[in-house]
Structure 1
Amino acid sequence: MPVRNIAVGRPQEAMHPDALKAALAEFISTLIFVFAGEGSGMAFNKLTNDSSTTPAGLVAAALAHAFGLFVAVSVSANISGGHVNPAVTFGAFIGGNITLLRGILYWIAQLLGSTVACLLLKFSTGGLTTSAFSLSSGVSPWNAFVFEIVMTFSLVYTVYATALDPKKGNLGVIAPIAIGFILGANILAGGAFDGASLNPAVSFGPALVSWSWENHWVYWAGPLIGGGLAGIVYDSFFINQTHEQLPGLTDY
């Protein structure tokens, strides 16, 4: 069971060069991803007079986030595992693929990366708003909560199947593509309802910079539960007890 694989880690891990390099990689990758994803929405609004909620805007958002995540995962995969998402980190922790201390480093890096990306966007666009995630008309917080659980489950399940499973074989080569594709598909499915975050860091940066926190809990609770469930399901049924750890984890 995944619970048997959970590890807290040692205090020295927080200052180990490999862990710090991995955290830096997560910071840069999350910055790249959020800058491209959030920036695409701001650009679409500017070009269409605030019409990002149209079908064309939804498709543009799905493509931008899919491409951005593909690149963000690709450039950090060999350094940090390419999480770019606190929900992915949490799912990896539940499955015993990362220690708690290393996971906390990743979370800090991811949240900082998202915040810096939004600050850069606000500055470089002359003060345009980095819109926080919000619910559409007729969608309750509990509707969105379930949406986020299901969508993030599919994302983290894909990460496990293509990147974390030691039996992944050739799938490991196309993991960033598969991960980007499932994100884009889920944005097409859920974007019209709650914006389809699937990533607490992606929600945190815009909310902090615009100081808009309405229903923000949905974009943390849903993804973390969905990511944790994916880690439990995949690790319990599809990974044996000799699965690999992320780079550097076994050094501590």
Structure 2
Amino acid sequence: MAKIALGTTREAAQPDCIRALIVEFIVTFLFVFAGVGTAITADKLGGGALVGLFAVAVAHALVVAVTISAGHISGGHLNPAVTIGLLAGGHITVFRSLLYWIDQLLASSLACFLLQYLTGGLSTPIHSLASGVGYFQGVIWEIILTFSLLFTVYATMVDPKRGALDGLGPMLTGFVVGANILAGGSFSGASMNPARSFGPALVSWDWTDHWVYWVGPLIGGGLAGFIYENFFIIRSHVRIPTHDQEDQSY
């Protein structure tokens, strides 16, 4: 079972951590800027709900793929749910996870405030539940969508035996984000990312249903990380013993 390390405050002063936080801030900012910017543009131009949803899904798929690749120094999390999924698998300490969360929320907020200024004060769409979708349904939507996101991250980037998928992780992760937005965007909003929801809510000062976009993604991300790490990743191989050789593992 994966061991979760608490870490120490000394991590914040380590050069590798500082570099990672700077990169994580930049790529999260770019991700939110493109994603929220597309949502604002879709609202401004109209063209129908389906066209707008498709545009938002494509934009998020593309920017996720690019920013994960560009953010390789920090891991390109972009998302507190991804961070908690990697924490559940023992790939990041608790203390550094908290630093990443703060980083991601600040980057999202800055991106949204800048968009509000650059668009002349246009409304920033928030994530909220659609009419007829209850809190429990919304949480379940976000759990499932975020679970699929983290399962993809683990299968294509974290798993050391990803085989032919090696190098395709960012693109495939972008694909699943786009597909999930098309599937759940008209119901829960398909956030999958508390930071992506936080920035628009802060700028608009509209916290309607906001807790859903923390509870659902964090549960979904944590579950996916824990399950994949502990049940699907094989980190050792036991040789078949012969009559003159004891069991060995490596």
Give the TM-score normalised by the residue count of structure 1.
0.91
Which residue, 135, 151, 163 being the options, matches 2:157?
A: 163
Give the TM-score normalised by the residue count of structure 2.
0.91
Q: Is 1:82 matched with 2:80?
A: no
> Which has more helix, going by share of residues?
1
Pairwise CA distance, 1:170: 4.1
Which residue, 135, 138, 148 being the options, matches 2:142?
A: 148
* CA deviation vs aligned residue, 1:84-131 (integer Å, no higher than 9, x gap): 110000010010000111111111111111101101100000011212
Q: 2:19, 2:178 → 1: CA distance? A: 28
Pairwise CA distance, 1:47: 1.4
Q: 2:207, 2:235 → 1: CA distance? A: 41
Give 2:109's aligned residue.
115
Pairwise CA distance, 1:11: 2.0
Q: Is 1:30 matched with 2:28?
A: yes
Pairwise CA distance, 1:188: 0.4
Please list every run of at least 4 consecutive aligned residues from structure 1 whose deviation after the TM superposition is greater than 3 angstroms. Answer: none
Give 2:11's aligned residue.
13
Pairwise CA distance, 1:207: 0.4
Q: Secondary structure at the match of 1:195?
A: coil
Q: Secondary structure at the match of 1:194?
A: coil
Which residue, 85, 93, 107 being the options, matches 2:87?
A: 93
* CA deviation vs aligned residue, 1:46-78 (integer Å, no higher than 9, x gap): 112xx66x111111110011011111101002x
Percent sequence identity is: 56
Q: Secondary structure at the match of 2:91?
A: coil
Q: 1:148, 1:187 → 2: CA distance? A: 11
Structure 1: segments with no counterpart, 5+ residues: 243-252
* CA deviation vs aligned residue, 1:127-161 (integer Å, no higher than 9, x gap): 11212111111111111100000000000010011
Pairwise CA distance, 1:240: 3.3
Pairwise CA distance, 1:168: 2.1
Pairwise CA distance, 1:241: 5.0
Q: 1:23, 1:172 → 2: CA distance? A: 25
Q: 1:181, 1:60 → 2: CA distance? A: 14
Q: Secondary structure at the match of 2:161?
A: coil
* CA deviation vs aligned residue, 1:139-193 (integer Å, no higher than 9, x gap): 1111110000000000001001111111224423111001000000000000010
Q: Secondary structure at the match of 1:152?
A: helix
Give 1:71's aligned residue.
66
Q: 2:84, 2:39 → 1: CA distance? A: 27
- CA RMSD for the aligned pairs? 1.2
Q: 1:124, 1:146 → 2: CA distance? A: 35
Q: Is 1:56 matched with 2:51?
A: yes
Which residue, 194, 206, 223 being the options, matches 1:212?
A: 206
Q: Is 1:137 matched with 2:136?
A: no
Q: Secondary structure at the match of 1:193?
A: coil
Structure 2: segments with no counterpart, 5+ residues: 237-250
Q: Aligned letter for 2:32? A: V
Larger Rg: 2
Give 1:246's aligned residue.
none
Q: 2:37, 2:183 → 1: CA distance? A: 21
